[in-house]
Amino acid sequence: MKRHLLEAADLDRDDATLVLDTAAQIDQALAGREVKKLPTLRGRTVVNLFYEDSTRTRISFELAAKRLSADVINFSAKGSSVSKGESLKDTALTLEAMGADAVVVRHWASGAPHRLAHWVRGSVVNAGDGTHEHPTQALLDAYTIRQRLGRLEGVRVAVVGDVLHSRVARSNVGLLHTLGAEVTLVAPPTLLPVGVGSWPAEVSYDLDAVLPKVDVVMMLRVQAERMNASFFPSAREYSRRYGLDARRMGALHDDAIVMHPGPMNRGMEIAAEVADSARSTIVEQVANGVSTRMAVLYLLLGGSPQ
Amino acid sequence: MNAYLIKGARPLGGDPVDILLKDGRIAAIGDSLAATGAEVVEAAGLIALPGLVDLHTHLREPGREDAETVETGSRAAALGGFTAVHAMANTDPVADTAGVVEQVWRLGQEAGLVDVVPVGAVTVGLKGERLAELGAMADSAARVRVFSDDGHCVADPALMRRALEYVKAFDGVVAQHAEEPRLTVGAQMHEGDRSASLGLTGWPAAAEEAIIARDVLLAEHVGARLHVCHVSTAGSVEILRWAKSRGVQVTAEVTPHHLLLTDACAESYDPVFKVNPPLRTDADVEALRAGLADGTIDVVGTDHAPHAVEDKESEWAQARPGMLGLEQALSVVIETMVEPGRLDWAGVADRMSVRPAAIGRLADHGRPLAPGEPANLVLVDATARASVDPAALASRSRNSPYAGRELPGRVVATFLRGVPTVLDGKAQK
């Protein structure tokens, strides 16, 4: 494994498989235990550096680090020196001086974790940067798919929604391709980046045509505000053309699953009866997020053979 | 002493000759000149060019003297072989009055390293709302002829039309920063394959091309002079070629960095490569080189844009756009145009001295190397190669995109009206 996890491309097939296998071992080790804690990272310090509010991701990383017995510091940009104008570099040097072994960073700016990695000696884990990547989300998604379907090779995955602004989509396209899955991106053309043609994925504008052919439908959060910038005419039209409702869910084959990275806009990109159906893996994704992030921290900080 | 005898230099790469400079002018050119009392400058093997002229320099003074001053920028210019630079108007306060342009002009005179020629803002405060007092700036001691809101596009088509028309009264030219602002909201880099994967908001080529297309039509309609700053796309070159074929009075500029670097640089997320317009693709670079070679693009303008460390050592989106250029401009042109055989030395003189001086209406620059002409010239060792060390630059800032890159060409001496501003590669003040 590389020292940092900044984007899906940092993981080759062996590394990615190792993370998923390690997460599975962790799940087994903790299954049925009353005290869900491993001593692996005792004495190590993990800093959660969050420049953007994301309670779910922060809690997931915090829990992962704590279950590995690491010391966890939460450094939120709001109400700290950061909001008083301290630069990313100065913050990095501060964390460095405090001896952070790993910095988990969430940032509104694409590439901020790459910059951070230049300035700290510890490992940097990208917990979502701007509209770039969110590699641990892709790992937990891959873990969830493998858990449900038993494999990743050849699995057909539709990623539906605001691909243009989605770090989840970018990481998933990269990682799923690495792991042998076949990705189709489905979105209105306005929500696909110019240049998407160079991605290892198919592109479709027609959700109904894609649904019967896939094993996994991954719905992306779509912000209703996007319609103000004319990405689509109205929330209703978006929902009609690209939302996953019960009727559309009926077009899926029997074993297909429905995923969502959360938080969901029920009624927008996904209907409540779909989100709550037996196909939905949304709650499992949250649980798997903790084990996968444990695996990442374990491999980056303590568990690597070298 | 005010006489220099340059021995064995090759004017525009031709046969070696001696050049005698006296009292600010070229006194004589010939073989084995002797001049008692003249200081001898050994120049065997060096190329002699007319002093370079930059149409596009940011000197940051007044306002951001921590990033650059007229003096430090002038020194960087002299070391780059320039004898005149046009100082862009986006200072603080903006150079939109006779008072500010005269201040910049005077600071340039005091520094005495290059002729600092102020550019006047087209609109008050660069806001794109109403014309600045263009006539007052033209009539001032700074004798402004180039007007630009550079950094901002004069996006309002009616205002642009009026600006083009108005400056005809004093033979001025509007230098447009071609960027349709509605198409570049939040833009961070060239829109294409790389912006898609890097998750950085794209700056589409069409945002530049649409404005250039509009402006050449306006310039044709009102019979005015238009200069297009920092052309960056293949499509822009095509539009300019078409406009010139119709006889539109349009000139265009390309920066050294757009001749050499591509959007691949953004993959580092190092904001030293963030610039506006952004670095483009290999195909664009090729079209720009071809356009400069065939004259569709008239000049190389540096867009020298110094920035303080804290404005560059940050997240990409947070960083200011712009990069240094004065000290490496000629080297980049040698690397991208001369060494591949696309431009000879006469071509370099034309694109970096003759044409920019003509666009800026500078009478004493861009002149032939001939007896009686002003002694503005530069001596270049074209064979020297060196790695760029930002810490060694004369600019007050360090945001060079060429750090660690080996480039050809070394400016050995620069003369401004017969006085050396650079000798032996060292600034003389």
Residue A98 lies in a domain: yes
From chain B, pick out residues whose CB is under 8 angstroms from the CB of A108. Answer: 317
Chain A with chain B: Cβ pairs closer than 8 A? 75
In this structure, the answer to whether residues B43 and B63 fall within a common structural domain is no
Which of A20-34, B241-255, B276-290 is least confident?
A: A20-34
CB contact under 8 A, B317 and A195: no
Mean pLDDT of A48-76: 94
In this structure, the answer to whether residues A149 and A200 fall within a common structural domain is yes
CB contact under 8 A, B193 and A115: no
Closest CA to A40 of A270, A229, A294, A306: A294
pLDDT of residue B224: 98
- State how far residue A113 is from chain B, nearest Cα, in angstroms: 9
Catalytic residue among A107, A134, A170, A260: A134
- State how far residue A109 is from chain B, nearest Cα, in angstroms: 6
Question: Which pair of structure tokens corresponds to residue A176?
Answer: 């799923």
Q: Could you tell me which residues are beta bridge partners of residue B87?
A: B57, B118
Quick one: closest CA in B to A166, which residue? B199
Mean pLDDT of B82-97: 98
In this structure, the answer to whether residues A115 and A142 fall within a common structural domain is no
Question: Which pair of structure tokens corresponds to residue B199?
Answer: 């998750």
- Tokens 């995955």 correspond to what residue? A157
In this structure, the answer to whether residues B162 and B34 fall within a common structural domain is no
Mean pLDDT of B332-357: 98
Asked if A88 and B177 count as a contact pair (C-beta separation under 8 A), the reply is no
Residue B34 lies in a domain: yes
Residue B91 lies in a domain: yes
Q: What is the pLDDT of residues A172-212, one digit of tens each?
A: 999 999 999 999 999 999 999 999 999 999 999 999 999 99
From chain B, pick out residues whose CB is under 8 angstroms from the CB of A167. Answer: 199
The rounded distance, in Å, linking the Cα atoms of B251 and B89 is 19
Quick one: closest CA in A to B315, which residue? A112
In this structure, the answer to whether residues B196 and B248 fall within a common structural domain is yes
pLDDT above 80 (res A46): yes
Q: Which residues of A touch B (CB under 8 A)?
A: 87-89, 107-112, 114-115, 129-133, 167, 170, 193-199
Quick one: residue B9, left, alpha or beta (phi over 0 = left, psi -120 to 50 = alpha)? beta
Q: Does B267 touch chain A (CB under 8 A)?
A: no
The rounded distance, in Å, linking the Cα atoms of A57 and A62 is 8
Active site residue A2: no
Q: Could you tell me which residues are beta bridge partners of residue A107?
A: A129
- Tokens 């790992």 correspond to what residue? A139
In this structure, the answer to whether residues A93 and A171 fall within a common structural domain is no
In this structure, the answer to whether residues B244 and B171 fall within a common structural domain is yes
Residue A32 lies in a domain: yes
- Tokens 């959360």 correspond to what residue? A262
Nearest to A110 among B204, B313, B316 (CB): B316
Asked if B120 and B144 count as a contact pair (C-beta separation under 8 A), the reply is yes
From chain B, pick out residues whose CB is under 8 angstroms from the CB of A93. Answer: none
Q: What is the pLDDT of residues A114-161, one digit of tens each?
A: 999 999 999 999 999 999 999 999 999 999 999 999 999 999 999 999
In this structure, the answer to whether residues A90 and A115 fall within a common structural domain is yes
pLDDT above 90 (res B1): no
Q: Does B170 touch chain A (CB under 8 A)?
A: no
- State how far residue B271 is from chain A, nearest Cα, in angstroms: 10
In this structure, the answer to whether residues B270 and B402 fall within a common structural domain is no
Mean pLDDT of A278-301: 96
Question: Which pair of structure tokens corresponds to residue B127?
Answer: 């806001």
Residue A3 lies in a domain: no
Looking at B360, B383, B398, the residue that finishes a domain is B360
- State how far residue A167 is from chain B, nearest Cα, in angstroms: 8
pLDDT of residue A305: 36
In this structure, the answer to whether residues A294 and A273 fall within a common structural domain is no
Residue A239 backbone phi and psi in degrees, to 5: -60, -40
From chain A, pick out residues whose CB is under 8 angstroms from the CB of B202. Answer: 193-195
In this structure, the answer to whether residues A98 and A14 fall within a common structural domain is yes
pLDDT of residue B35: 83
Residue B28 lies in a domain: yes
Closest CA to A225 of A198, A192, A252, A265: A265
Active site residue A56: yes
DSSP, res A119 = H
Asked if B190 and B278 count as a contact pair (C-beta separation under 8 A), the reply is yes
Binding residue per annotation — B304? no
pLDDT of residue A84: 60
The rounded distance, in Å, linking the Cα atoms of B193 and A49 is 30
From chain A, pick out residues whose CB is under 8 angstroms from the CB of B233. Answer: none
Helix H or strand E encompassing A75: strand A71-76
Mean pLDDT of A258-287: 95
In this structure, the answer to whether residues A69 and A186 fall within a common structural domain is no
CATH code of the domain in which B196 resides: 3.20.20.140
CB contact under 8 A, A198 and B197: yes
pLDDT of residue A303: 55
In this structure, the answer to whether residues A100 and A183 fall within a common structural domain is no
SS3 state of residue A32: coil
Residue B335 lies in a domain: yes
Q: Does B200 touch chain A (CB under 8 A)?
A: yes
Catalytic residue among A37, A42, A56, A240: A56
Quick one: closest CA in B to A131, which residue? B199
Residue A2 lies in a domain: no
pLDDT of residue B252: 98
Looking at B360, B395, B416, the residue that finishes a domain is B360
Asked if A40 and A295 count as a contact pair (C-beta separation under 8 A), the reply is no
The rounded distance, in Å, linking the Cα atoms of A191 and A214 is 21
Mean pLDDT of B383-398: 97
pLDDT above 80 (res B302): yes
The rounded distance, in Å, linking the Cα atoms of B4 and B35 is 9
Question: Which pair of structure tokens corresponds to residue B147?
Answer: 């007007």
Length of chain B: 429
- State how far residue A21 is from chain B, nearest Cα, in angstroms: 28
From chain A, pick out residues whose CB is under 8 angstroms from the CB of B320. Answer: none
In this structure, the answer to whether residues B227 and B283 fall within a common structural domain is yes
Active site residue A281: no
pLDDT of residue A79: 60
Closest CA to B130 of B104, B103, B96, B98: B96
- The 10 Å Cβ neighbour count of residue A27 is 18
**ipTM above 0.85?**
yes
From chain A, pick out residues whose CB is under 8 angstroms from the CB of B200. Answer: 110-111, 130-132
Asked if B202 and B178 count as a contact pair (C-beta separation under 8 A), the reply is no
CB contact under 8 A, B269 and A115: yes
The rounded distance, in Å, linking the Cα atoms of B156 and A10 is 46
Asked if A176 and A142 count as a contact pair (C-beta separation under 8 A), the reply is yes
pLDDT above 70 (res A83): no
In this structure, the answer to whether residues A104 and A160 fall within a common structural domain is no
Asked if B380 and B46 count as a contact pair (C-beta separation under 8 A), the reply is yes
**Residue B104 lies in domain:** 51-360
Quick one: closest CA in B to A88, which residue? B314
In this structure, the answer to whether residues B398 and B298 fall within a common structural domain is no
Asked if B238 and B216 count as a contact pair (C-beta separation under 8 A), the reply is no
Burial annotation A38-56 (CB, 10 A radius, 16+ → b, else e):
bebbeebbbbbbbbbebee
Residue B56 half-sphere exposure toward CB, CA atoms < 13 A: 31
Higher pLDDT pick, B107 / A86: B107
Residue B366 lies in a domain: no
C-alpha gyration radius of chain A: 19
CB contact under 8 A, A194 and B202: yes
In this structure, the answer to whether residues B406 and B329 fall within a common structural domain is no
Active site residue A37: no
Residue B367 lies in a domain: no
Q: Could you tell me which residues are beta bridge partners of residue A75?
A: A49
In this structure, the answer to whether residues B55 and B43 fall within a common structural domain is no
pLDDT above 50 (res A306): no
User: Rounded mean pLDDT of chain B?
Assistant: 97
In total, how many domains does chain A have? 2
* Site from A105, A115, A175, A220 to mutate, B interface, most B CB atoms within 10 angstroms: A115
Residue A169 lies in a domain: yes
**Residue A227 lies in domain:** 135-281
- State how far residue A131 is from chain B, nearest Cα, in angstroms: 5
| Angle B150-B155-B157 from CA coordinates, rounded to 5° | 130
pLDDT above 60 (res A7): yes
CB contact under 8 A, A170 and B199: yes
In this structure, the answer to whether residues A276 and A293 fall within a common structural domain is no
Mean pLDDT of B105-109: 98
The rounded distance, in Å, linking the Cα atoms of B88 and B374 is 25
Mean pLDDT of B244-268: 98
CB contact under 8 A, A167 and B199: yes
In total, how many domains does chain B have? 2
Nearest to B315 among A107, A131, A198 (CB): A107
Residue B397 lies in a domain: yes
In this structure, the answer to whether residues B268 and B161 fall within a common structural domain is yes
pLDDT of residue A304: 42
Cα torsion through B64, B70, B73, B74, rounded to 10 = 180
In this structure, the answer to whether residues B277 and B249 fall within a common structural domain is yes
Nearest to B313 among A87, A170, A195 (CB): A87
Residue A58 lies in a domain: yes
Residue B23 lies in a domain: yes
Mean pLDDT of A282-302: 96
CATH code of the domain in which A121 resides: 3.40.50.1370
CB contact under 8 A, A132 and B199: yes
Distant-in-sequence, close-in-space partners of B426: CB < 8 Å, separation ≥ 6: none
In this structure, the answer to whether residues A290 and A220 fall within a common structural domain is no
* Site from B315, B316, B318, B320 to mutate, A interface, most A CB atoms within 10 angstroms: B315
Length of chain A: 306
3-state secondary structure labels for all residues of chain B? CCEEEEEEEEECCCCCEEEEEECCEEEEEECCCCCCCCEEEECCCCEEEECEEEEEECCCCCCCCCCCCHHHHHHHHHHCCEEEEEECCCCCCCCCCHHHHHHHHHHHHHHCCCEEEECECCEHHHCCCCECCHHHHHHCCCCCCEECCCCCCCCCHHHHHHHHHHHHHHCCEEEECCCCHHHCCCCCEECCHHHHHHCCCEECHHHHHHHHHHHHHHHHHHCCCEEECCCCCHHHHHHHHHHHHCCCCEEEEECHHHHHCCHHHHHHCCHHHCCCCCCCCHHHHHHHHHHHHHCCCCEECCCECCCCHHHCCCCCCCCCCCECCCCCHHHHHHHHHHCCCCCCHHHHHHHHHHHHHHHHCCCCCCCCCCCCCECCEEEEEEEEEEEECHHHCCCCCCCCCCECCEEEEEEEEEEECCEEEEECCEECC
Active site residue B303: yes
* Site from B200, B267, B269 to mutate, A interface, most A CB atoms within 10 angstroms: B269
**Greatest alpha-carbon span in chain B:** 66
Residue A34 lies in a domain: yes
pLDDT above 70 (res A6): yes
* Site from A6, A83, A110, A162 to mutate, B interface, most B CB atoms within 10 angstroms: A110
Q: What is the pLDDT of residues B31-48, one digit of tens each?
A: 999 888 999 999 999 999
Residue A148 lies in a domain: yes
Catalytic residue among A33, A55, A84, A118: A84
Catalytic residue among B96, B215, B263, B303: B303
Quick one: residue A172, left, alpha or beta (phi over 0 = left, psi -120 to 50 = alpha)? alpha
CB contact under 8 A, B310 and A132: no
Nearest to B199 among A87, A89, A131 (CB): A131
In this structure, the answer to whether residues A141 and A209 fall within a common structural domain is yes
CATH code of the domain in which B418 resides: 2.30.40.10
